[in-house]
């Protein structure tokens, strides 16, 4: 019954929580850097999140995307799946003036 608090992680090296149910995690390259992208089935989400792509709430139990810049869990956001895919189109990868990937 007591609400679980999400304490902001200071080190940035903590693992994201692993108890979100069935999901699939991948790494995608975006302008801001390497994102870890998790596709949430929706069955385990229990509160609405605001999508930064369209500034609308993602209803509970809706399949969506959780993405954060690699090793920077504070950047984690929940996105509608189409908004996440549109984000990539809105900011094409042609301008890469900084943060070159370290291969």
Closest Cα to residue 53, out of 29, 76, 83?
83
- Candidates 10-18, 26-34, 47-55, 61-69: pick the segment binding Zn ion (CB under 5 A): 47-55
Distance CA 81, CA 63 (A): 8
Site string for Zn ion, 50-69 (x = CB under 5 A): -x-xx---------------
* Residue 58 to residues 12, 51, 95, Cα–Cα distance (Å): 25, 6, 30
- In angstroms, what is the minimal distance from the CB of 97 to Zn ion? 27
Binding site for Zn ion (CB under 5 A): 51, 53-54, 80, 83
């Amino acid at each position: 019954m007591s609400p679980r608090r999400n304490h902001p992680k200071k080190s940035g090296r903590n693992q994201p929580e692993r108890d979100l149910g069935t999901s699939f995690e991948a790494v995608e390259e975006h302008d801001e850097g390497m994102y870890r992208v998790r596709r949430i089935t929706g069955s385990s989400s229990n509160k609405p999140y605001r999508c930064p792509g369209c500034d609308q709430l993602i209803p509970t139990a809706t399949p969506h995307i959780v993405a954060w810049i690699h090793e920077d869990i504070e950047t984690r956001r929940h996105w509608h799946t189409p908004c996440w895919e549109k984000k990539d189109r809105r900011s094409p990868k042609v301008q890469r003036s900084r943060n070159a990937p370290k291969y």
